[in-house]
Amino acid sequence: MAVKRVLITGASKGIGREVAKYLAAQAHYQVIGTGRNVDRIRDKIEGVRYVNLDLCNESSIYACIKEVGDIDVLINNAGMAQIGSVEEVSMDKLKQIFEANFFGSVRLMKALGKEMRLRRDGHIINITSLVDKISVPYLSGYTASKTALAGFTQAYRMELMEFGVKVCTISPADVKTEMRADLILPENSVYEKKVLKMEAGMYKNMEAAPGPIIIAKLIEKILKTKKPKPVYNVGNMVGPIMFLKRTLSDKALEKLLKMIYGI
């Protein structure tokens, strides 16, 4: 089996780390993982090459692209979250989350996807979130940036299809990681109670969720599949959630979501 060069963003911890570890353990993958400051990664995985990448910094992205060279598999995993009300999250903060969760990945896709098209081979896997199907209050920037990435991925998939490049989205529900959202909550905020409830609910759900190995195994399965699906919904309670999304009206779904988070 030919060796595939995999670039996975955000491999310093959480899902990205687990995917890097899982693929690096197999002889036919050469894994390059990124972090914003790879010198600070304490528990590096043997066999993984680490490269600095800050998705909010254009020159860091282009330096990373230059450094990694040809890539067969691009996994856009790195991401950040913010919790706060629309009124209280500044435009700068919203732009930051779009750089990290959307534009940064787009820059990588434009550069590395073109090379894949020329070689008529390659995989691009973008990790969004189930919020790309169900909007979540106080996570508006996160919801919007992940929804943008999901839409972009679907369109790009169809553009690259005829060139043999396979593009798909993994849309996870909760996964147990240490991911923590940037809490944006000014003093005396009228939204304080609900934002904090939402934050606590989110971490409680993550704590009860399966670990990131489910994403690693799914990625391996996708890489071995001749015709990957456009979207893979995965993670805690994803079956019932998708069933409710299909069967409930938007209004009923909204009520249910507010009830679940007690907001």
Ligand X SMILES: NC(=O)c1ccc[n+]([C@@H]2O[C@H](COP(=O)([O-])OP(=O)(O)OC[C@H]3O[C@@H](n4cnc5c(N)ncnc54)[C@H](OP(=O)(O)O)[C@@H]3O)[C@@H](O)[C@H]2O)c1
| Residues with a known catalytic role | 142
Using the rule CB under 6 A, is 141 a contact of ligand X?
A: no
**Of 8, 19, 23, 80, the one binding ligand X by CB under 6 A:** 80
Using the rule CB under 6 A, is 44 a contact of ligand X?
A: no
Which window, 133-141, 158-166, 176-184, 186-194, contacts ligand X (CB under 6 A)? Answer: 176-184
**Of 4, 7, 8, 12, the one binding ligand X by CB under 6 A:** 12
**Of 14, 84, 122, 228, the one binding ligand X by CB under 6 A:** 14
Using CB under 6 A as the binding rule, the residues of this chain from 101 to 140 that contact ligand X are 127, 129
Q: Is 245 exposed, middle or buried (0-12, 13-18, 19+ CB in 10 A)?
A: middle
Given the complex with ligand X, which of 40 and 226 has the nearer CB atom? 40
Which distant-in-sequence residues (6+ apart) come within 8 Å of 195 by Cβ? Answer: 83, 84, 85, 138, 183, 185, 189
Using the rule CB under 6 A, is 242 a contact of ligand X?
A: no
Q: Is 229 exposed, middle or buried (0-12, 13-18, 19+ CB in 10 A)?
A: exposed
Given the complex with ligand X, which of 13 and 117 has the nearer CB atom? 13
Given the complex with ligand X, which of 35 and 141 has the nearer CB atom? 35
CB of 180 to ligand X, least distance (A): 7
Using the rule CB under 6 A, is 74 a contact of ligand X?
A: no
Amino acid at 68: V
Please, what is the Cα angle at 7 between 122 and 148, to 5 degrees? 80
CB of 123 to ligand X, least distance (A): 17
Using the rule CB under 6 A, is 199 a contact of ligand X?
A: no
Measure the CA dihedral 4/100/130/263, to 10°.
160
The H or E element spanning position 63 is helix 58-68
Q: Measure the CA–CA gap between 91 and 34, rounded to whole angstroms.
A: 27
DSSP state of 103: I
225 CB neighbour count, 10 Å cutoff: 12
For ligand X, the binding residues (CB under 6 A) are 9-16, 35-36, 53-56, 77-80, 100, 127, 129, 172, 174-175, 177-179, 206
